[in-house]
Amino acid sequence: MNYLKLLIRPIFNSKLFVSVRNIIGYKPVGFLFPNSVKNFSCSDLFFWRTDNGFKTIFRFSNIPEIFFGINKSKVLIIFYDSLGIELKRTKIKVKASVSEIEIDSAYLGGITDIGTFSIFHLIDRDDTQEIKIINRCYVAYQRDQSIPTFVHGNIEAQYINLASQEKEKVENDIAKVVYFKNEYLIQKNLSLFDYSELLFSNPHKARIWISIDGKREILESLSSKLIKIKDNDVVSVRSNLSMPRPVIFSYKGKFFDCHHG
C-alpha cells in the first residue's frame, strides 16, 4: 500500500491534477512548489509602502552561506507597482549574514505609492548539489518617526530555476486559484481602532478577485490593493485565491500596528 502511495503521489500533486482538484474542490491546493526543479530560489511577494509618510525596511539573510556553505552570492530584487508592472530590478552582493535595505520614495525614483517585490538568491557555480531556497524574510514599515513594525513574508509567489540558462527568468505559478468561493476570516476586532487598512496582493499569474462586505475588487497578476476598513468588528474575505490573507495596518491616534491577517 505504501508503494502504491509513493507511485500515485507525484501524479496526485502534478499541476494537471492540482487544477482538477481545485476545480472540483477535492483537497484543494493553495501553493505548489516546483519539486521537479532541482535547484531553485523561491520568494514571497512582499509589500512596499512609500505613501502617507511610510518607508519600508527589508532584512534578508545570507541563506546560501548559512545553509549551503556558499560564500559568494548575490540577490536579485524585483519591484512591482500597484498594477503589477515591473518598476525596477537591482542586484546586491551579499557580504553579511543579515543585510538591510531601506525602500523610500527616493529609492523608487520619487514614487509615493504601494506595491510588491520579490527577492531571489543568485548562485554562480555549477555542481550536483541540490539547492532549494524559500525566502520568507522580514519587512518593516515605519511611518514618519515611529518605531518600525516587522512582519515576515505573507504569500509565496515566484521562483527562479538556478540551473536554467535563463538564470533570471521568473516563474510565477506557485500560488493557485480555486473555482469555488473561498472564505478567509480575519481574527481581529477592527472596530476597536480608528480605522484599519487591508493590503492585498495577487501572487497568481492570472487575474483574481476578492470581496469584502459584498464589494468585489479585481486584482491583476502581481498587483496590490489597499482597502480601508472602519467600524467593522469581524471581517470576512471571499476570493478565488486559496488564501486571501492581507497584511493589516491598524491605527488609533498616533499609534499604528502592522501584522498578518
CATH number for the domain that contains residue 220: 2.60.120
Tens-place pLDDT, residues 138-167: 999 999 888 899 998 878 889 899 887 777
| Number of domains within the chain | 2
Amino acid at 47: F
Domain-ending residue, one of 116, 145, 171: 171
Is 166 in the same domain as 233? no
User: In the β-sheet with 247-252, what is the strand arrangement from edge to edge?
Assistant: 224-229, 195-201, 247-252, 255-260
Q: What is the pLDDT of residue 17?
A: 45
Is 157 in the same domain as 253? no
Is 146 in the same domain as 243? no
Contact predicate 141/96, CB 8 Å: no
Domain-ending residue, one of 138, 171, 204: 171
Within a domain: residue 29? Answer: no
Residue 154 cell numbers, joined: 505573507
Is 145 in the same domain as 63? yes
Segments forming the whole domain that contains residue 142? 40-171
Tens-place pLDDT, residues 21-58: 454 455 555 556 666 788 889 999 999 999 999 999 99
Is 131 in the same domain as 183? no
Q: What is the pLDDT of residue 205?
A: 85
Is 72 in the same domain as 118? yes
Q: What is the pLDDT of residue 48?
A: 97
Contact predicate 59/100, CB 8 Å: yes
Is 112 in the same domain as 211? no
Residues of the chain with pLDDT under 70: 1-35, 125-128, 176-180
Neighbours of 60 (CB within 10 A): 22
Give 213: exposed, middle or buried? Use CB within 10 Å, 0-12, 13-18, 19+: exposed
